[in-house]
Copies of this chain bind each other. A is one copy, B any other.
Amino acid sequence: MKKEKDILQHYIAHKRLRLTRQRQFILETFLSMESHVSAEELYKEVSKRDPSIGLATVYRTLHLLSKSGLAQERQFGDGQTRYEHDFNHSHHDHLICTECGDITEFEHPMIERLQEEIADRNKFSIYTHRLDIYGLCKRCNKKGETFMPTNRHKGG
């Protein structure tokens, strides 16, 4: 929290931007939420405590956080960009539950290494990658087995 604020301040000073009340508040809120939030979700949470802050500012601040290394944009194919915490958060890939929307992170060094192999083979130089695995998470699997009602177990 303290450290993240410093990073934002540093980036802002470096780029000669301004540290506004809104930017600080949006960062705080973003950090207080679980990762992989959409702009709309963050905006809703921000609005709760400060209804004066506009949606456009949330979008603008998310871009700022991305550029400063505090957030990372991700597309999981549900039609909206999701943002995850990117400070002290090393590379990882995702298991996405198509039933409840739950997102689990994982890392597998061997998979990472094999990608280099592919790249070499194709004389391709990797900038980044994403591995998204879609299916049913532990909980949703269980539901199927036991014939429980098939509702989302997250959110409302």
Interface residues of A (CB under 8 A from B): 75, 77, 95, 97-98, 104, 106, 108, 110-111, 114-115, 117-119, 121-138, 141
Complex Cα distance, B126 from A126, in Å, reads 26
Residue of B nearest to A128 (CB): B134
Of B118, B132, B141, the residue contacting A125 (CB under 8 A) is B141
Known: A95-B122, A138-B123. A115 touches B128 (CB 8 A): no
Given A95-B122, A126-B133, 19 more pairs with CB closer than 8 A: A97-B124, A98-B127, A106-B118, A108-B117, A111-B114, A114-B114, A119-B133, A119-B135, A124-B137, A124-B138, A124-B141, A126-B135, A127-B136, A128-B134, A128-B135, A129-B131, A130-B130, A130-B132, A131-B131
